Amino acid sequence: MDNIQIGDIDIPEDYFQFTDEVKKDICIQIMDTMLHILDKKLMPGINRIEFFDKVLESSIQANIDLEQYEVAAVMRDIRTLINE
């Protein structure tokens, strides 16, 4: 599968210090942006939520490997939101 660039994401370094409400707001904004980009790039017939979930899963592990824990935490929190 080819990679799809879904944009650069700036995550505040103090993400872990935010309240759950602020974290949720950040995640929803990022999720909306990423889904909008995916809508433009995905072929019709591909379930965008299932695809997005797989992208998040891969991104979480990649960011942990790169020791970018804030990004991994945001991706994990977004994944939790879409799987609720």
Whole-prediction pTM = 0.79
What's the CA gap between 20 and 49, in Å, rounded?
23
Please state, as a whole number, how many other Cβ atoms lie within 10 Å of the Cβ of residue 62.
Answer: 13
pLDDT digits (tens, 9 = 90+) for 1-56: 344 445 566 777 788 899 999 999 989 998 998 888 888 888 888 888 899 999 89
